[in-house]
Amino acid sequence: MAAYLAVMCLVTWLWWPLARDAFIVNDGWSGERRWHPDWLLTGNFLAMFLLIMAKADLRADFIIALAGLAGGLAIECWGTQTNFWIYYTSERPPLWILPAWSVSSLAIDRLARLLDWATCKNGLLAISERGFRVLYWILLPGFYLLLARFVAPSWHKPLTWLAMTLCALVIISPVNYRWAVLTFLGGSALGYFLERWGTTRACWTYYTHQTPPLVAVLAHGMACVIFWRARKLILDRSSV
């Protein structure tokens, strides 16, 4: 809890103009600047805060947060350098967005665990292992086709080839259909609200000007699947 609050306070302190702009608007009648609550932003962070507190494990959470930070940096560098999205500060990428990747990675891990409980044999939405296998080969290849169309303007750039190759390798080499699907769904669910806030507040803008594009929402799920696979690979090697 202290670490989460410390990160939020640090971001607010170092990038105070961003925090101020999120909660201050110009009054349409008087022209004066006044404080107002951004309920979507508040709801996003409150939900992530509550999720992170559920069954916290400092050792495991540190690895998840670190993977989110490193992976988020790679994704932001790729997206901003290829102009798929642009931040209103014109930074490529902005450092202030990186802690959000760590926080969201932890929250998505909790969402995946919640979905795992809900879809277990005795859960409310019981799904068999065969069902997860079918869902896997529908959802992830489907996302890949959407992503290929989305990144078409930058097919000539090495970063895009690298990103697409990495996604393809992860998709065609599943190790746990159930957890991959749950992580993808959890990441996409949280990703919608994060993307909805960022695009409607013009914090970042996609080249398609959608608020948000479907592929960007699903990309949060795919990113967390890749982060999970990277953690699993590292932990498996370290245990040998």
Q: Is residue 18 part of a domain?
A: no
Peptide bond before residue 94 is cis, with ω within 30 degrees of 0: no
Residue 34 lies inside a defined structural domain of this protein: no
Is residue 47 included in any domain, yes or no? no
**Which pLDDT does position 235 carry in this prediction?**
77
User: What is the value of pTM for the model shown?
Assistant: 0.87
Over residues 182-196, the pLDDT tens digits come to: 999 999 999 999 999
User: Residue 233 pLDDT more than 70?
Assistant: yes
How many angstroms from the chain centroid is the CA of residue 18? 20
pLDDT at 35 over 70: no
Average of pLDDT values for 42-49?
A: 87
Could you tell me if residue 46 is inside a domain?
no
- 15 φ/ψ angles, rounded to the nearest 5 degrees: -120, 55
* Residue 183 forms part of a structural domain: yes
Token duo for residue 181:
């699907």
Question: Would you state the pLDDT for residue 120?
Answer: 85
Instruction: Using DSSP, state whether 208 is helix, strand or coil.
Output: coil
The residues that bridge with 19 in the sheet, in sequence order, are none
**Considering its fold, how many domains does the chain have in total?**
1
- Domain membership of residue 172 (yes or no) is yes
Q: Which residue has the tokens 């932003």?
A: 41
Per DSSP, what are the bridge partners of residue 25? Answer: 34
Longest dimension (CA), the chain: 67
For the stretch 144-167, pLDDT in tens is 999 999 999 999 899 999 999 999
Of 202, 4, 214, nearest in space to 105 by CA: 4
Q: Residue 30 is encoded by which pair of tokens?
A: 């008087």
Half-sphere exposure of 3 toward its Cβ, with a 13 Å CA cutoff? 13
In a domain, 6, yes or no: no
Q: Which 3 state secondary structure label does DSSP give 24? A: strand
- Using an 8 Å Cβ cutoff, are 167 and 222 in contact? yes
Q: What are phi and psi of 25, to 5 degrees?
A: -130, 165
CA 233 to chain centre: 20
pLDDT at 28: 47
Question: Is the Cβ–Cβ distance between 160 and 190 less than 8 Å?
Answer: no
Of the chain, the end-to-end C-alpha distance in Å amounts to: 33
Domain extent at residue 98: 56-239
| DSSP secondary structure letters along 140-193 | HHHHHHHHHHHTGGGTTSHHHHHHHHHHHHHHTS-S-HHHHHHHHHHHHHHHHH
Whether 27 shows a pLDDT value over 70: the answer reads: no
